[in-house]
Structure 1
Amino acid sequence: MNDIVLSILLPAYNYPEGIHKILSQISEANDDVKDKFEVVIYDNSSFESDVKKEFEYYKNNIKEITYKHYYPELGPSDNWNQLIGNSRGKYFILIHHDEFPLSDDFVVEVLKKIETNPGVDLILLDCFLMNKSKRLITRHIPTWIRIFVIKFFPTYLFRRNVVGPTASLIIRKDLQPTFDKNLKWLLDVDEYFGLFRNKIKWIFCKDIQICSYVDRGNSLTSSLGDDIGSIWKKELIYLAEKYSIKSPWLSKWHVLHLVDTVGWSFMRLFTRNISFILNRFGFYPISKEKVKKAFDDNC
């Protein structure tokens, strides 16, 4: 009988330190929940790297943990689809190696949230961005913007990803659409739109937080380099045809794009400057303990 409630899925790629940071926190989950979650690592590294060593180190601390190395490597969509398809949990979270929970009690808190919200389809977590070189931690997007877009204008996600990384979502597995192999840049956004355009039961959980390491090299974004603009335009055309919808956010240019750019620039200028000043004086949007752990590679 499968009692796994939560599958924590980790696509890895040449960054064992990131896997260590995730597993070091997950491994602290108490014995009461050890039978209720699993960790699945699919390693897409160019060679069988130190990611496997991290698995070997933590496999005695995490009851349900599996590792698989792919060579030749799978593309992102294939790796993510394989992870989800082979997971056993009723719910899953897809955490990339440059993302990590901001709480030692992450697994326990997620399982509590699922238990106290029976029938929930999706849980949206609070999301923060860490720029390690500049010692900055800021909220990804103001919460009200995330919720407003998701509730009323999910097509706007094709213009701007206000949801955040895939680690921002706890998703009921039987709702998950397959990641589209034809996409590179809008791969996650396509997933979000496919979920939120339907009438699903979702909740926002401010007290469970995830963080994304934005200035680390060798990420999917950095691998696309200067081609992002052209890839984005091509994918917008593809998605407009895929969903058979007409939207200003799925066109290559629209007058609303200019209005959006101006408004967004002012908003980001204000919020980022405020965050920068507050961070410089030691004020962060999370506790000092969480700040210390976020910047520490060893925990």
Structure 2
Amino acid sequence: MKISVCIPCYNNPVGALRAVTSVAEQLFDDFECIITDDSTDNGVEQAIAPFLKDERFKYIRNTPALGTPANWNKAIRESSGALIKILHHDDWLSTPESLAIFHTFAVSNPDYGFFASARNHYDARTNALELMVTDGRLIGAMNKDRFFSFAENFIGVPSVTLFRRDFFQYYDERLKFLVDVEQYMAVLANTKLFYIKDPLVNVTIHGPTQVTRQCEYNIDVQLREGLMLAEKLWGKNIPISAMMKLTYILSHLIFSCFSQFTTSLRSRYLFAAVFAVQFIRLSLSCGMKKIFGCKK
């Protein structure tokens, strides 16, 4: 089965070159690499030009730029492999055997349509930070109830994933921050997740061009997307459990923002607790619609 490695890019020639190089160095050679570029200049194209002599590599410049996640979807639509592997421009495959290992697990587990691996976290200067391995009990909980992922992304960024094309769901282009969580739950509606404990991907966290960083403390974006996702999953009748999870999202955001202004742990936890209790009371008495004034 051919693997389609899809690399959406934006104004990061150094990262794009590293990502493409990691694909070119793979010992597994039955792949294609689709690079779609939203950049404002030709830096990415120039950086990866040597690889384009290999017919397995295809470069597409988006004019006009599509934005995220439409650029991700563009790369996938241009691909043809039975297995889809997205790789963001600031992430890279951790070993020359990464694709081979993904492929082996996919072939050996035909009942699974969704695969994800552990990952190594790096900062923007490529300093190693930590190894991230998701607990098997969390993977089991997600396979039992896909809504378990609603309030917390236990899988990681899209770069750690691999999908069978038959089960892949395109990213919802209305979303920015929760786009990966929504897609994971959409896929899990029809198949199961197989988790690989080997760190097959290196992931840059808090990179300067990451959309997630721009949305990290944007309460409006996160609340709007949280409610949009809840409505997409449950319609107009959002259950109490989902309200609680939305409360978790909001209290976590407020807590994070408040933490920047005080070093007192007691003050932080007291604030978070009081806020959570008051928000739950409002949720139960008024309903989510009235609180946010959200219309279907």
TM-score range, shorter chain: 0.7 to 0.9
Of 241, 244, 248, the residue aligned with 1:248 is 241
The whole-number CA distance in structure 2 between the counterparts of 1:215 and 1:169 is 19
Of 83, 96, 108, the residue aligned with 1:104 is 96
2:36 maps to 1:20: no
CA distances 1:142-169 after superposition (whole Å, capped 9, x unpaired) = 4335414422443232211111000111
Deviation at 1:206, TM superposition (A): 1.8
CA distances 1:170-191 after superposition (whole Å, capped 9, x unpaired) = 1011212221122111111100
Q: 1:171 to 1:132 in 2, by over 3 A?
A: same
Matched position secondary structure for 1:79: helix
Q: 1:133 to 1:56 in 2, by over 3 A?
A: closer
Of 47, 64, 70, the residue aligned with 1:72 is 64
Unaligned ranges ≥5, structure 1: 262-299
2:152 maps to 1:160: yes
2:217 maps to 1:223: no
The whole-number CA distance in structure 1 between the counterparts of 2:88 and 2:240 is 30
Match of 2:204 in 1: 213
Give the partner amino acid of 1:236.
G
Higher gyration radius (CA): 2
2:42 maps to 1:45: no
The TM-score, its normalising length taken from structure 2, stands at: 0.75
The whole-number CA distance in structure 1 between the counterparts of 2:175 and 2:50 is 35
The whole-number CA distance in structure 1 between the counterparts of 2:247 and 2:139 is 25
Matched position secondary structure for 2:34: strand
The whole-number CA distance in structure 1 between the counterparts of 2:49 and 2:233 is 44
Deviation at 1:214, TM superposition (A): 1.0
The whole-number CA distance in structure 2 between the counterparts of 1:121 and 1:190 is 16
Deviation at 1:39, TM superposition (A): 0.1
The whole-number CA distance in structure 2 between the counterparts of 1:232 and 1:27 is 37
Alignment of 1:67-146 (within 5 A): 67-131=59-123, 135-140=127-132, 142-144=134-136, 146=138
Contact kept, 8 Å, 1:46 with 1:71, in 2: the verdict is no
2:191 maps to 1:200: yes
CA RMSD, Structure 1 to Structure 2 (Å): 2.9
Contact kept, 8 Å, 1:183 with 1:235, in 2: the verdict is yes
Matched position secondary structure for 2:142: helix
The whole-number CA distance in structure 1 between the counterparts of 2:114 and 2:39 is 30
Deviation at 1:5, TM superposition (A): 1.4
Number of equivalences: 251
Deviation at 1:67, TM superposition (A): 0.4
The whole-number CA distance in structure 1 between the counterparts of 2:177 and 2:97 is 32
Contact kept, 8 Å, 2:143 with 2:192, in 1: the verdict is no
The whole-number CA distance in structure 2 between the counterparts of 1:201 and 1:169 is 13
CA distances 1:91-140 after superposition (whole Å, capped 9, x unpaired) = 11111111111111222222333333335312121122113559442133
Give the partner amino acid of 2:8.
P
Deviation at 1:212, TM superposition (A): 1.0
The whole-number CA distance in structure 1 between the counterparts of 2:169 and 2:182 is 9
Contact kept, 8 Å, 1:10 with 1:97, in 2: the verdict is yes
Deviation at 1:221, TM superposition (A): 1.9
Contact kept, 8 Å, 1:130 with 1:212, in 2: the verdict is yes
Q: Which moved more, 1:101-110 or 1:38-47?
A: 101-110
Unaligned ranges ≥5, structure 2: 256-296
Q: 1:157 to 1:201 in 2, by over 3 A?
A: closer
Identity of aligned residues (%): 21
The whole-number CA distance in structure 1 between the counterparts of 2:82 and 2:10 is 26
Q: 1:168 to 1:58 in 2, by over 3 A?
A: same
The whole-number CA distance in structure 2 between the counterparts of 1:113 and 1:252 is 35
Of 174, 177, 184, the residue aligned with 2:169 is 177
The TM-score, its normalising length taken from structure 1, stands at: 0.74
The whole-number CA distance in structure 2 between the counterparts of 1:134 and 1:109 is 24
Q: 1:44 to 1:143 in 2, by over 3 A?
A: same
The whole-number CA distance in structure 2 between the counterparts of 1:108 and 1:211 is 16
Which structure's relative contact order is higher, taking Cα pairs within 8 Å and 6+ residues apart? 1
